[in-house]
Structure formats: C-alpha cells, structure tokens
C-alpha cells in the first residue's frame, strides 16, 4: 500500500471513529432526555394530586436545564427544534396562556418529546406535530405579544418620567 493510501485509510478510520463517538453521544443524550421526561410525568402526577406546591418551580427548572444541556448533543436539527419548543412549553406550563391545566400541558409536552425522540432513536422521520401544540404555539405567541406590550408601556412610562424630570429641572433653573 502506498503512503497516500495508508494516510487515506487512517483518515477514514479516524473519521468513522469520530462519527461513532458523535452517534453514541447523541444516543446517550436522547436516553437522558427520555429519563428527564419521566421526571416530568412524575411532576405532572404531583401537580394533578396537588402534591407539589412548594417545589414545582425548582423541579421543572432542573428538568429544563437538563434537557437543554442534552439537546446540544443531538445531531438532527429538526429534532432539536421540536424539542426546543417542548422546553418552551415546559417553561410556561403553568401559564394562563397555554390551553388546559398544568397537568395536561406537561403531559402533552412529554408526549410530543417522546414521539420525536422515539423516531430519532429508530432513525426515522419525526412524526407530525401533535395538533394541540398549535394552540400552545398560539398561547406562547400571545404571551410574547403581551410581554412586548408591557415592555413598550414601561419604556413609555420611563420616557415620560424622564421628560417630567427634565421639565422640573428646567423650570427649577428658570425660576
């Protein structure tokens, strides 16, 4: 074998080894996310039976951070995009803008993520998005709109306050 052929074979083996490492990390990440989704299901049950008043925020925050950390290791952009939306739903699951009770919102988010990750692990195309998620998307959009309106109102109030302060300052100097 020539030197070039040997070098090409070595480079190919290195490339295949790196691909295997990436694939293994992605598979492990999918498994970790599925484990975190089990925690979301347990949290949903606790919400349903009103057993989580004090620690809901802490538990959901830890779950979300774990999912976000593992999302980076997934190799499919569409899967990451869909799971990022699930994370957004989990973040605002107890918001009045999402349809249904917190328990239902959590269950829908888990189901969507499980469907997407199941297809990902089987190396299939992700299934169609659950129909209810369109309503969740609308609720999140409405929430973003409301946040923008609040921010604009706060900016307007701050501008008005600055102008009033400036007017008082100007009149104080004139008098």
- Write out pLDDT tens, residues 89-131: 999 888 877 777 888 889 999 999 999 999 998 989 988 888 8
Q: Residue 164 domain-assigned?
A: no
Calculate ∠ Cα 36-41-42, nearest 5°: 95
Q: Residue 104 domain-assigned?
A: yes
- This prediction has a pTM of 0.71
Tokens of 113: 């993520």
Total count of domains within the chain: 1
Q: Is the pLDDT of residue 48 over 90?
A: no
Tokens of 153: 């109102």
Rg of the chain over all Cα atoms, to the nearest angstrom: 25
Q: Residue 66 domain-assigned?
A: yes
The reported pLDDT for the residue numbered 167 is 86
Range of 15's domain?
3-130
Q: Which residue from 27, 32, 48 is spatially nearest to 106, judged by alpha carbons?
A: 48
Q: Is 26 in contact with 117 (CB distance < 8 Å)?
A: no
- What is the DSSP track for 52-92? -TTTHHHHHHHHHHHHHHHHTT---HHHHHHHHHHHHHHHT
The reported pLDDT for the residue numbered 173 is 60
Q: Residue 167 domain-assigned?
A: no
């Amino acid at each position: 074998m020539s030197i070039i052929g040997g070098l090409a074979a070595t480079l190919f083996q290195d490339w295949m080894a790196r691909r295997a490492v990436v694939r293994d990390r992605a598979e492990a990440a999918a498994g970790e996310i599925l484990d975190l989704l089990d925690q979301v299901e347990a949290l949903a049950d606790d919400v349903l039976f009103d057993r989580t008043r004090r620690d809901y925020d802490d538990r959901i925050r830890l779950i979300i951070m774990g999912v976000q950390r593992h999302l980076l290791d997934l190799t499919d952009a569409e899967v990451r995009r869909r799971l990022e939306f699930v994370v957004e739903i989990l973040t605002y699951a107890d918001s009045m803008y999402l349809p249904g009770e917190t328990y239902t919102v959590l269950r829908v988010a888990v189901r969507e993520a499980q469907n997407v990750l199941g297809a990902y692990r089987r190396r299939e195309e992700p299934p169609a998005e659950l129909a209810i998620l369109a309503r969740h998307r609308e609720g999140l959009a409405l929430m973003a709109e409301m946040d923008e309106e609040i921010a604009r109102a706060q900016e307007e109030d701050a501008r008005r306050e600055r102008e009033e302060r400036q007017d008082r300052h100007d009149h104080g100097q004139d008098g």
